[in-house]
Each structure stands twice: as C-alpha cells, then as structure tokens.
Amino acid sequence: MQNQLKILPVFGLILIFAGCNSVGTTVSDVGLSGLGGVAGYKLSGGKVGGAALGAAAGLVTSKVAQSQVQTAISEAEKRGYERALNQAVKQQYWIMQNQQRTTEVPTARLVPVQIPAQTINGVVTNPTIEYIRVQP
C-alpha cells in the first residue's frame, strides 16, 4: 500500500508535464492511463478490474483532450486564414484606390491644321483650318 502511494505523484507529474504541446503524444496517453489505473485501483479497494476500468477511463480522457486540442487548432488556423484573406483584399482595394488617385487625367488639346486651297477632280476647295484633338 505504501509503494502505491509513492506512484501516484509520479503519474501526477507526468500529467502536469504533458501540457498542450504534447497532449497528442504517447506521454499523455500513458500518463492519464496510469493515473486512471492507480485511481481505479485505489477506489475499488485494490481490485484489478477497478484498475483496468480506471486506466481505460484515463485513456478515453486523453483521447478526448487530444480531439479538443486538434479542434481548437483547426478553428484557429481557419480564423487566421480568413483574416489574412480579408486583409489581402483590403490591401488590393487600397492599392487600386491610390493608383486611381495619383493618376493624372491627361488633358486633351486641339491642334489647328491649315488645309490649303486645292483642286481635286475638278472640284475646287477653299483653304480652311481644321482642329485635331491630341492627348499627351
């Protein structure tokens, strides 16, 4: 009985050091199964069946914790991706706004072109001035 009480803190330390970073590892599974086995053994009055049920409960607890951590990581990654995508869209919008703001609208000007008097196929035209629109 005395040796069994010494084992309990060891499993407690394993559980403490099996934090979020290593919850998906074998250390977490072994720690929680061992802690559950010892607790089951103690609670059942030293019966092996109680130890087995406690170990199984510890393993199930470890798997549930792993699942919750994976779900939290997946949701955090999804939120981060969506925020980055929104930020990229905003950046593109402001790039386009700044490009339109800094672009100077060229002003068109009219250039006079003098057409002299001429005769084409017997038709006489008077001299005239025509204006051509030119953009720089």
Q: Is residue 112 a contact partner of residue 128, using CB atoms and an 8 Å limit?
A: no
Question: Could you read off the pLDDT of 85-129 as tens digits, one per residue?
Answer: 899 999 999 998 888 876 666 788 899 999 999 988 889 989 999
Within a domain: residue 110? no
Nearest residue to 133 via CA among 115, 110, 100, 114? 110
Distance, CA of 129 to CA of 121 (rounded, Å):
22
Question: Could you read off the pLDDT of 52-63 as tens digits, one per residue?
Answer: 888 888 888 888
Domain count, the chain: 1
Q: What are phi and psi of 109, to 5 degrees?
A: -130, 155
> What is the Cα 9 distance to its own chain's centre?
40
Within a domain: residue 86? yes
Residue range of the domain that includes 79: 2-102
Within a domain: residue 11? yes
Question: Could you read off the pLDDT of 67-76 as tens digits, one per residue?
Answer: 888 899 999 9
Nearest residue to 58 via CA among 15, 13, 3? 15
Within a domain: residue 118? no
Task: Return the residue matching tokens 């109680």.
Answer: 50
Structure token digits, residue 101? 């703001």
Within a domain: residue 94? yes
Within a domain: residue 134? no
Stated pTM of the model: 0.47
Nearest residue to 110 via CA among 132, 88, 93? 132
Helix H segments across the chain?
2-17, 26-43, 48-102
Distance, CA of 54 to CA of 26 (rounded, Å):
17
Within a domain: residue 81? yes
Q: Is residue 50 a contact partner of residue 44, using CB atoms and an 8 Å limit?
A: yes
